[in-house]
Structure 1
Amino acid sequence: MEECCSTKPKDKEIKKEHFDGDGHDHSHGSEDKTTLQLFLPAIISFVLLLAGIAMDNYIKPDWFKDWVRIVWYLAAYIPVGLPVIKEAVESIGKGDIFSEFLLMSIATIGAFAIGEYPEGVAVMLFYAVGEVFQTLAVSRAKSNIKSLLDQRPDEVTVLRDGQPVTIKAETVNIGDTIQLKPGEKLGLDGELLTTSASFNTAALTGESKPDTKSKGEAVLAGMINLNTVSLVKVTTAYQDSKLSKILELVQNATAQKAPTELFIRKFAKIYTPIIVLLAILICLLPYFFVADYQFRDWLYRALVFLVISCPCALVISIPLGYFGGIGAASRNGILFKGSNFLDALANIQNVVMDKTGTMTEGVFKVQEVSFGEEFNKDEILKMVNALESKSTHPVATAIHNYVGDIDYTLPLENVEEIAGHGLKAEVNGKELLVGNFKLLDKFNITYDIKTDNIVYTLIAVAYGGKFVGYLTIADSIKPDAQATIDKLKSLNVSSTMLSGDKSSVVKFVASTLGIENAYGDLLPEDKVNKVKEIKAKKQSVAFVGDGVNDAPVVALSDVGIAMGGLGSDATIETADVVIQDDMPSKIPMAISIGKKTKKIVWQNITLAFVVKGIVLILGAGGLATMWEAVFADVGVALIAILNAVRIQKMKF
């Protein structure tokens, strides 16, 4: 599996870093603070600033001058300015000299130096408010992701001195033995101690077929025990389970930057030093060309220029836009592993999908029973139902749901499961065979029907050496499958179905839904070749499957989407997007979120460059004051942030 995943090594490398736009950690433990605590420094600063402006321009008390006025505005500046100055110093210590923190520090300290105290406070105040909005937006998105993902039980039952004890899941130690009753969900990864047990893994792999595990095999948090009390030895701490890894993975998804975001970050690293140099030239160069050169006036222009040019509107709002997209997706049960996949999905041209568990329920139902007239239909069905009760295959469930209660009084003897074929037993001294037609061929049972054109799964039955007939079993198409294909068409995205199922079944499902291309009877390597054919046309491909059997195709595609891949190693490694609830309608929704996110990001980029460009020219010419600079910098940043947050409230 690692080899097949290695085609996308950069995509799979997740860094442990707090979300930000410039590589710095803005949090300062802010995620543990309340909203009031986050805004408190800004509130204090704002109140003192308003009071200072009022006393400067309206009240005008005699005592509000000289050092009192300086101390007052300094008190207003410290709550919001000190953290930024600290960040600037730390950035310089790390070798990142020309950061936004340095620009803000120079501009505001410079404003104090020339006596423009209100402007200095205002610039830093609005910058701090922007940072708080960023923190709140990120925290909200992370909270949404965590509540959606972490579905493990809070408590588990462990054996202590042979007695079952219920304790908190996070307190379970490696080596403890968990007792799991039928219907209970496993809370931690472990190793099965019971001889065998059947688990529902639908929430983990997207596969509806129950998975029978044997003693010593690995079982994962999220699996549901089906039919017997099982014992599991814990092998992984609660915080290190596959679910925990996915939580960490998605919450740190912005470590994988979108191309637009990477470009802006590179641009900012070049742009910022140039701006500092230009500010110095604006301040000093006129000395040689202007007759009545006043240092204070040109310093003020240089400071205005610095404030205007600060790239915080870009380096904050753009990654926040992508994180907003990730948060909006998580709220709808779609987990993106990085903002780069939002961009990739926004430009996707083809969606290639698996059939079973993706566009169909993976839950089979009996459609038809065709037995020869010489056989008693009810009696044969009772025998078939009793024999199938020995299997955990979904076919057995379908037959049981159709026939009803199992007749345990039937004398089943010598029950045997023949791998890849079906079941065999003796009933009333006669041989009963239930399985595919290969099973009948194996026991030289003759039959006179053609199976190629039947679009359902066939279950053949033979009794006493004679062909009895067959049952047809069909997998239901998901309720939202049709809407999925219709929405993809409205987005101008082509659809293709690839499946290992019978071609007649695959084509029937595809024609029912209006899927443009469909291919059945495919091996994994055949699916790879089909995807290669599409990519050879220079078209982008998103593949939707279970992320396990289709791992090579997922790795080959531009975006790999897993249906219900929660907890699977292969899915974590290969899929770029996980649809948690298995609803195919989330595929076009994910594409729409990608498109909306990209649109909002480019709105922010355009807004920032246009406004800053205009005010930069005015500032260099002395036509813009520090207040216009505040709007051009922090005002634009706030507008961009609010625009970015908007995506989390959109309906898709």
Structure 2
Amino acid sequence: MAETTVHDHTHHHENEDHDHADHDHGDASSFKTYIPAITSFVMLLLGVVLDNLIKNDFFNTYLRLAWYILAYLPVGLPVLREVYETASKGQIFTEFLLMSLATIGAFGIGEYPEGVAVMLFYTIGELFQGAAVSRATKNIKALLDVRPDTASVYRNSVYQIVKPDTVLVDETIQIKVGEKVPLDGELLSEISSFNTAALTGESKPRTIRKGEPVLAGMLNLDKVIELKVKKEFKDSSLARILDLVQNATSRKAKTELFIRRFAAVYTPIIFFLALALVLVPFLFVPDYQFKVWLYRALVFLVVSCPCALVISIPLGYFGGIGAASANGILFKGSNFLDLITKVDTVVLDKTGTLTHGVFKVQKLVSALPEDEFLGYLVALESKSTHPIAKAIVAYAAAKNWVFASDIAEIAGMGLRGVVNGKVILAGNARLLKKFGIDYPVDLDQIPESIVMVAVDEVYAGYVLIADEIKSDAQDTIKCLQGAGIKQIVLLSGDKLSIVKKVAQELGIQTYHGDLLPEDKVSRLEALQKNKTGKIAFVGDGINDAPVLALSDIGIAMGAMGSDAAIETADVVIQTDQPSKIVTAIAIGKATKKVVFQNITLAFVVKAAVLILGAGGLATMWEAVFADVGVALLAILNAVRIQKMKFL
């Protein structure tokens, strides 16, 4: 089954089918995969014991050769098969060919144990790679595990168990306690708690109320609930996330692409240099011995094998994508892990990105008792579907409502009605002016939305309605500034006075309000003309899609963001927390650092042993360390990304 790990290695080269790759990586963790390597190791160990500790003439015959060939075959055959398969596709000069030539050559000059050892340690390196990739993909597999197999849909007056992909939009489904939500929908039940860890990486349960969205992949914790399906299975949040993560490895970082191109040119050069190392000394060395120079060439081949680079570089990026998904951040390609490290300007949308995008009553000012004031106000607002009216009703949910009659809506101003025989007005300043009612003039200076109330043509007070700033927004701005971001810009379609207030609260120096989608695009284009590094734009709405596409790296808020924004973005933040922008940059930098360390380690060690090997000062055992040892160290270094703690 060592063949499996070798095939894994080929996947890194050829970018073949992801499902096949995932399957192979899963096999790398099973015991069967290790049997060929264990068999070869035991036989090699016994052979070395017979060679050195038990002086037995009968083992120095053909039996010795047969013994080491049998030890070689379990690990050597899969690699030899790869040489044949890649050669048949026109790829002759691969690391498989280098390893095969080196080990067969070792047998040719009688260095049987070394021939077996080189192939054995090469296979062990491949097994380590398979295990490391399995670890890196565990978050993706966790997502696959939360994909529900069935849905309980209400049809013909009963609930029927069906496949999720057969459920239609606007059908009603039921989810019992402990069951996974199979499709995106709107909660029909009053309230329930959900575990959203599979989607967002957050362990804290989330409370969702009637009318609010529930996403596929969430786990119902509270009670039996009903949902109205809003999206088909293939369009659900979970299906989209799976597609994004599974396809992420197809978009390669420049470093990764360079290493592949480098390996394609490097391998044939090494082959011909090794050939020259055997033949050229014949012309210049007086006491030329073919066996000595062939051995040096074989050492040269083993040392030169680009395994450490070809394995560890993609694995480093793969680990970065895995670490990000564990933190509720989805990179759509390893190229964006590289790009995010070059960002020096972050442009932020306001509503839904830095604020919750939900109106809430922030303040109530009235000379009347609060219950009486709210009674008048809610009696009118409960009849309206406006978001501000809903915010007022939600705020007063526990209060005793009173009945209103003769309610009339005055377009663009507010409501008028009769409550307990009193005429009540509830609306903006223009409404009170229309009826000639005086109110404190300083209220005109308040940037947020306010609803004024008048009772029998006398001003009675107001409530202030505002969108709440997210709890981690302020820390996000400070951390971005601390992370070397030179410029932070706030762009919003909201009125300038509100944008200014939010910017000042968060410590953002540059801000623009009253922007249409095309205005945001023109502002970003102006920034791009003067940029030194890369520009990241963070948004969540449909109107943000053009700017997300135009920016160097687009980051979308994925939990409540629009489909258009999520599809256009390069990075999706599943938790809707702006602080995850800082985490994404930190993961990008950590990944880049690990990849650079691996490249440096591989080149320095290989260069040193190459020089020693060409001069006859390094044996096949040093070559094994330079190749397989460096590959193992590089793999272990890449796996570190999975264990790192990020903000």
1:614: which partner in 2? 608
- Using the TM superposition, give the Cα deviation of residue 428 of structure 1 relative to its aligned residue in structure 2, in angstroms: 6.1
Decide which of 524, 527, 534 is 1:531's aligned counterpart: 524
Q: Distance in 2 between matches of 1:273 and 1:199?
A: 63
- Using the TM superposition, give the Cα deviation of residue 310 of structure 1 relative to its aligned residue in structure 2, in angstroms: 0.9
Decide which of 107, 116, 122 is 1:121's aligned counterpart: 116
Question: Counterparts of 1:19-38 in structure 2 under 5 Å?
Answer: 20-23=11-14, 29-32=24-27, 34-38=29-33
1:479: which partner in 2? 471
Tell me: CA distance 1:377–1:548, structure 2 relative to 1, closer, same or farther (3 Å).
Answer: same
Q: CA RMSD in A?
A: 4.1
Q: Distance in 1 between matches of 2:542 and 2:39?
A: 55
Q: Which amino acid in 2 is paired with 1:520?
A: G
Q: Distance in 1 between matches of 2:274 and 2:430?
A: 82
- TM-score normalised by the chain length of structure 1: 0.83
Q: Which amino acid in 2 is paired with 1:501?
A: D
2:548 is the alignment partner of 1:554: yes
2:580 is the alignment partner of 1:586: yes
Q: Which amino acid in 2 is paired with 1:282?
A: L
2:390 is the alignment partner of 1:410: no
Decide which of 500, 509, 514 is 2:502's aligned counterpart: 509
Secondary structure at the residue paired with 1:78? helix
- Using the TM superposition, give the Cα deviation of residue 143 of structure 1 relative to its aligned residue in structure 2, in angstroms: 1.8
Percent identity (aligned): 58
Tell me: CA distance 1:552–1:567, structure 2 relative to 1, closer, same or farther (3 Å).
Answer: closer
- Using the TM superposition, give the Cα deviation of residue 334 of structure 1 relative to its aligned residue in structure 2, in angstroms: 1.4
Q: Deviations over 1:587-641 (max 9, x none)?
A: 1121111111111111111111111112112222222211111111111111111
Q: Distance in 2 between matches of 1:142 and 1:524?
A: 38
Tell me: CA distance 1:174–1:212, structure 2 relative to 1, closer, same or farther (3 Å).
Answer: closer
Q: Distance in 2 between matches of 1:377 and 1:567?
A: 36
Decide which of 58, 61, 86 is 1:91's aligned counterpart: 86
Q: Distance in 1 between matches of 2:268 and 2:441?
A: 80
Decide which of 463, 467, 483 is 1:491's aligned counterpart: 483
1:569: which partner in 2? 563
1:343: which partner in 2? 338
Question: Counterparts of 1:93-242 in structure 2 under 5 Å?
Answer: 93-147=88-142, 156-165=151-160, 167=161, 170=164, 172=166, 177-179=171-173, 187-188=182-183, 221=216, 231-232=228-229, 235-236=232-233, 241-242=236-237
Secondary structure at the residue paired with 2:577? coil
Q: Which amino acid in 1 is paired with 2:548?
A: V
Indicate conservation of the 8 Å contact 2:477/2:507, yes or no: yes
Indicate conservation of the 8 Å contact 1:566/1:578, yes or no: no
Decide which of 292, 301, 308 is 2:296's aligned counterpart: 301
Q: How many positions carry a matched residue from both structures?
A: 622
Structure 2 alignment gaps of length 5 or more: 1-7, 201-206
Q: Distance in 2 between matches of 1:593 and 1:424?
A: 55
Indicate conservation of the 8 Å contact 2:9/2:126, yes or no: no
1:628: which partner in 2? 622
Indicate conservation of the 8 Å contact 2:492/2:512, yes or no: yes
Q: Which amino acid in 1 is paired with 2:109?
A: I
Q: Which amino acid in 2 is paired with 1:598?
A: K
- Using the TM superposition, give the Cα deviation of residue 504 of structure 1 relative to its aligned residue in structure 2, in angstroms: 2.6
Secondary structure at the residue paired with 2:13? coil
Q: Distance in 1 between matches of 2:415 and 2:149?
A: 40
Structure 1 alignment gaps of length 5 or more: 1-16
Indicate conservation of the 8 Å contact 2:168/2:229, yes or no: no
Secondary structure at the residue paired with 1:293? coil
2:591 is the alignment partner of 1:597: yes
Indicate conservation of the 8 Å contact 2:208/2:214, yes or no: no
- Using the TM superposition, give the Cα deviation of residue 187 of structure 1 relative to its aligned residue in structure 2, in angstroms: 2.2
- Using the TM superposition, give the Cα deviation of residue 457 of structure 1 relative to its aligned residue in structure 2, in angstroms: 2.9
Decide which of 46, 50, 56 is 1:51's aligned counterpart: 46
Q: Which amino acid in 2 is paired with 1:641?
A: I
Q: Distance in 2 between matches of 1:164 and 1:549?
A: 39
- Using the TM superposition, give the Cα deviation of residue 76 of structure 1 relative to its aligned residue in structure 2, in angstroms: 2.2
- Using the TM superposition, give the Cα deviation of residue 383 of structure 1 relative to its aligned residue in structure 2, in angstroms: 3.7
Tell me: CA distance 1:305–1:402, structure 2 relative to 1, closer, same or farther (3 Å).
Answer: same
Q: Distance in 1 between matches of 2:439 and 2:10?
A: 65
Secondary structure at the residue paired with 1:115? coil
- Using the TM superposition, give the Cα deviation of residue 426 of structure 1 relative to its aligned residue in structure 2, in angstroms: 6.2
- TM-score normalised by the chain length of structure 2: 0.84
Q: Deviations over 1:188-207 (max 9, x none)?
A: 368x9x9xx99999x999xx
Secondary structure at the residue paired with 1:305? helix
2:3: which partner in 1? none
Indicate conservation of the 8 Å contact 2:165/2:233, yes or no: no
1:379: which partner in 2? 372
Tell me: CA distance 1:301–1:185, structure 2 relative to 1, closer, same or farther (3 Å).
Answer: closer
2:364: which partner in 1? 369
Question: Counterparts of 1:239-278 in structure 2 under 5 Å?
Answer: 241-278=236-273
Q: Which amino acid in 1 is paired with 2:465?
A: I
Q: Distance in 2 between matches of 1:138 and 1:395?
A: 50
Q: Distance in 2 between matches of 1:18 and 1:433?
A: 73
Q: Distance in 2 between matches of 1:444 and 1:618?
A: 97
Deviates more, 1:44-53 or 1:375-384: 375-384
Q: Distance in 1 between matches of 2:141 and 2:24?
A: 18
2:281 is the alignment partner of 1:290: no
Q: Distance in 2 between matches of 1:19 and 1:453?
A: 67
Q: Which amino acid in 2 is paired with 1:115?
A: G
